[in-house]
Amino acid sequence: MGFTLMELLIVIAIMSILVALAVASFSSAQKRGRDSRRRSDLHALQNAIEQYYANNAGSYPGGTYPNIAVLDATYLPGGEPKDPKSVGSYISVTWTTSAYKVCADLEGDGAFTGLNQDTCVASLQ
Q: Which of 89, 96, 80 is nearest to 44 (CA)?
A: 80
Indicate the SS3 state at residue 115: coil
CA distance 4 to 11: 11
Segment 51-103, tens digit of pLDDT? 988 998 888 877 655 567 778 778 888 888 888 887 666 677 777 778 888 88
pLDDT at 110: 53
87 located within any domain: yes
26 in a structural domain: no
Residue 107 falls within a domain, yes or no? yes
pTM score, whole prediction? 0.70
- In a domain, residue 13? The reply is no
Helix H or strand E encompassing 103: strand 100-104
Residue ranges making up the domain that contains 59: 33-122
Report how many domains make up the chain.
1
Residues 6+ apart with CB under 8 A from 101: 93, 94, 95, 120, 121, 122, 123
For residue 78, is it within any domain?
yes
